[in-house]
Structure 1
């Protein structure tokens, strides 16, 4: 939301106007004295002296007032830009931020970028049952949970409504699958308190990989198709789009989050189950290998 110009900017404008008026008045008085008493010009050295001093002071004042005015305008412009790129409810970046980063991802260096679309399941029921303020609180709570699920290099935005988006770099399919699973489990474990009610929600996730030949809009469409499949299959699921079709995905073996955080030396080989494509053709199952270094002696079951 745009704010009114700051007090510093207003004071700067007043000072500039007052100083300008003072200079004009002083010079007008000097001209009147000279025109009516030309013989007194030689005796009015003090007038020229103080006129010069006042003019110099006025010039400094005008310069400072102009500087403050420019700073105020710059601060106002920066705030307008920030407001234009920020979702006011959650404080996350909005869709403009996402599309800017998507364009960089598909046109920049050849890195493995993945787009994850996250949709809160049955969000309409929250609004209909508990009211829109409860729905807003759910959105804020979920956005806080998502902040704890991303790295500094990831781009987290509110895509619109109850939908969020994450643009992240992952070196493998197993890595992005782990990330999506972590997000899904953490949101399911989140408790949202509104008045005397504790609300729990789940989410569905669709993701797709950015390709140099794939426009940003097409990447969003692929992730959205995968999300649609996840929700249609019962919600609280993950699905992906491989460029030709969508498929549900789930890991049959996972390392607990605590081990993943504190034990960087365990070799985990999650069995990744890939469902059939949306057109009915089958996919070959495969096993992904992920290696983590662990300094702890704690066992993993």
Structure 2
């Protein structure tokens, strides 16, 4: 079994962050581990507070894992400040981390800013260690400093983000109104389109976390970036299709829908 690490924030609601990451990693048949960077107080209706962890404990979590365990890939999620970004950056470089998938978390679905504005430049510099960067359109607009409306815009934004040093860039198209095609710019500058299916559901909490963690799991299992993205898209599509409500707001995607059904859970 491959060991996959997530470095991200904790979601008390369990739908996103490290909780979603660990579920997604387990669903792909890998062993998930976590380095927590921040604790959020949130439910299905939004994020209400964030408490960053001390830099020393973030660094120590990473160091002790790499001292003991063979880690096949890393998924990076919420790094809320420039100091946290730099600490994670320096520590991963020191332990020679490989296969790094960066999901540049900036704003929650409820509109809460999870990345401080003065940390954007540090994030751009951090992207150079990424095997793959997976921004959605709002995140890609910030990173590329351009408006994205068409697939051509997505390609141009991917090129700008790749110029920071990332090997591969996946621009997720779910925020577009006309379609939800994702665009992958590969290490060899090839453009790969992944057409998606849009499901009529409000329950999409943790989609970005789930997709990036799934991709990291497949890369850790030895697959190419393109194949990992393809399988990741298939998994997240099924998870959204089988999402469900747990509160009054945005519910989680269905990571273990087959196990839930086997256990007799009725979502109707």
Normalising by structure 2, what TM-score? 0.28
Larger Rg: 1
Normalising by structure 1, what TM-score? 0.26
* More helix as a share of residues: 1
